[in-house]
A and B are shown apart, each in its own frame.
Chain A
Amino acid sequence: GENVEQHPSTLSVQEGDSAVIKCTYSDSASNYFPWYKQELGKGPQLIIDIRSNVGEKKDQRIAVTLNKTAKHFSLHITETQPEDSAVYFCAAGKWKNYGQNFVFGPGTRLSVLP
């Protein structure tokens, strides 16, 4: 079945620095790649997503890149702030039977040090 790997598992950066999280997926049929942020005690929340027909997408300090040939996609956060500290999950989605199924990576715990 589909497998999504995510690295690193933990990441510490100084406030103002950039953070990069990388994911790889195994199923070439996957066509939708969201990134979620999860704060302690809460459900995940979408921060950015990208579809398979696009190579890059940016939203203010957050950007995602997709390399379909290599089957990997990355999250880039610039000018990090303490409120960016959370667990980040990548996911790969594809159509299956009645709807789109998602496989999530194991998560990256990001700590932004003031």
Chain B
Amino acid sequence: NAGVTQTPKFQVLKTGQSMTLQCAQDMNHEYMSWYRQDPGMGLRLIHYSVGAGITDQGEVPNGYNVSRSTTEDFPLRLLSAAPSQTSVYFCASSYSFVWQGSYSYNEQFFGPGTRLTVL
């Protein structure tokens, strides 16, 4: 298994440009998510999905769009890049199981990250 893969590894954009960060997993995980990592701030959740056609916002969703058409893929779109979006982006996936009567998600498997610079 390749696990969670992300492309590209590095990207430089100019302000106002758009692009899509790709994320794919081959573990048949239902839950996928996008985080951004900034110095001294840990990881912050941007968007997440619990299956094809179901997405929801995280802590910092503004300026980003997502969709989930297949179990394997969860792309993140930047509509009009801004310098504030300079960051390292991580995609993660997780399986689910029932715990105390509810669906629960535990270990998240992270991709290697995409380092994005917006000039």
Binding site for B on A (CB under 8 A): 1, 4, 6, 9, 32, 34, 36, 41-46, 49, 51, 53, 89, 91, 93, 95-107
Contact = CB atoms under 8 A, between A and B. Distances in A.
B50 interface: yes
Given A49-B107, A95-B102, A99-B31, A44 B56 contact: no
Given A42-B112, A49-B107, A100-B105, 14 more contacts: A1-B59, A4-B42, A36-B110, A41-B112, A44-B90, A51-B99, A98-B56, A100-B104, A101-B48, A101-B59, A103-B45, A103-B59, A104-B42, A107-B42
A96 B96 CA distance: 14
A43 B112 contact: yes
A49 B94 CA distance: 14
Nearest to A105: B42
A44 B106 contact: no
Contacts of B106: 32, 34, 49
Nearest to A102: B45
Interface string B44-72: 11001010001010110000000000000
18 contacts: A9-B40, A32-B104, A34-B106, A43-B90, A43-B92, A44-B43, A44-B90, A46-B107, A95-B104, A98-B50, A99-B48, A99-B50, A99-B96, A99-B105, A100-B105, A101-B58, A102-B108, A106-B40
Nearest to B40: A106
A102 B99 CA distance: 17
Contact of B110 (A45, A49, A100): A45
Contact of A97 (B40, B41, B56): B56
A98 B54 contact: yes
A112 B38 CA distance: 24
Contacts of B90: 43-44
Nearest to A106: B42
